[in-house]
């Protein structure tokens, strides 16, 4: 019996993810600003929020960091991920993976990590057909 070829999806930068991250971090910064706490604590918290935004944008939107996911290849109940630095990671798709027509929250238990690793994939990060195929393959995984 011949086995079907494994599909590999190329992840591109996503403007929708960038806007969502920016919006969430701005809301967090506003909450810190209106909270009653000493000014030095507010400044430290705002710095942490800015660093978090910078890291998330560099890793998940601009795909600049070595651990940025460049290629995703789902197969049955597993997934293979190739990072920007060329490393290949194999893992199992977790039950907590969320699939919707608007985005996918891919939760993977990689062999090298004890905890689940999550990435959000918006439709503009893949071609339209690839996003649809990814959604279908994850729903039936």
Q: Partners of 10 in the beta sheet? A: 71
Q: Which region among 7-11, 82-86, 91-95, 110-114 has the lowest average model confidence (pLDDT)?
A: 110-114
The pLDDT value recorded for residue 3 is: 42
The conformational region for residue 76 under phi > 0 = left, psi -120 to 50 = alpha, else beta, is left
Q: Do 49 and 74 fall within a single domain? A: no
Task: Report the number of distinct structural domains present in the chain.
Answer: 2
Query: Is position 29 within any domain?
Result: yes
pLDDT tens readout for residues 57-84: 999 999 999 989 999 988 877 888 899 9
Q: Are residues 135 and 77 in the same domain?
A: yes
State how far the Cα of 46 lies from the Cα of 36, in Å rounded to an integer: 14
In degrees rounded to 5, what are phi and psi of residue 50?
Answer: -65, -45
pLDDT at 4 over 50: no
CATH number, domain of 111, equals 2.30.29
Specify the pLDDT at position 1: 35
How much is the average pLDDT of 74-96?
86
Q: Domain for residue 123, yes or no?
A: yes
Residues 117-125, mean pLDDT to the nearest whole number: 93
Cα angle: 40, vertex 19, 84; to 5 degrees: 95
Contact indicator for 34, 84 with CB cutoff of 8 Å: no
Provide the pLDDT for residue 84: 92
Give 91 or 42, the one with higher predicted confidence.
Answer: 42
The mean pLDDT of 116-123, rounded to a whole number, is 92
Residue 7 lies in a domain: no
* Domain with 57 in it: 15-61
Same domain as 133, residue 96: yes
Residue 134 is encoded by which pair of tokens? 């990814």
- What number is the average pLDDT over the span 2-9? 60
Do 72 and 22 belong together in one domain? no
The reported pLDDT for the residue numbered 114 is 77
Say what the pLDDT of residue 141 is: 64
């Amino acid at each position: 019996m011949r086995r079907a070829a494994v599909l590999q999806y190329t992840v591109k930068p996503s403007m929708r993810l960038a806007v969502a991250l920016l919006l969430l971090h701005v809301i967090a910064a506003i909450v810190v600003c209106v909270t009653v706490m000493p000014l030095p604590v507010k400044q430290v918290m705002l710095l942490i929020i800015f660093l978090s935004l910078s890291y998330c944008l560099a890793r998940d939107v601009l795909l600049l960091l070595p651990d940025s996911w460049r290629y995703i290849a789902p197969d049955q109940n597993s997934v293979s991920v190739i990072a920007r630095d060329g490393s290949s990671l194999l893992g199992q798709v977790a039950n907590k993976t969320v699939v919707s027509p608007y985005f996918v929250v891919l939760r993977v238990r990689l062999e090298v990590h004890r905890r689940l690793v999550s990435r959000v994939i918006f439709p503009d990060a893949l071609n339209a057909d690839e996003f649809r195929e990814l959604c279908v393959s994850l729903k039936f995984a």
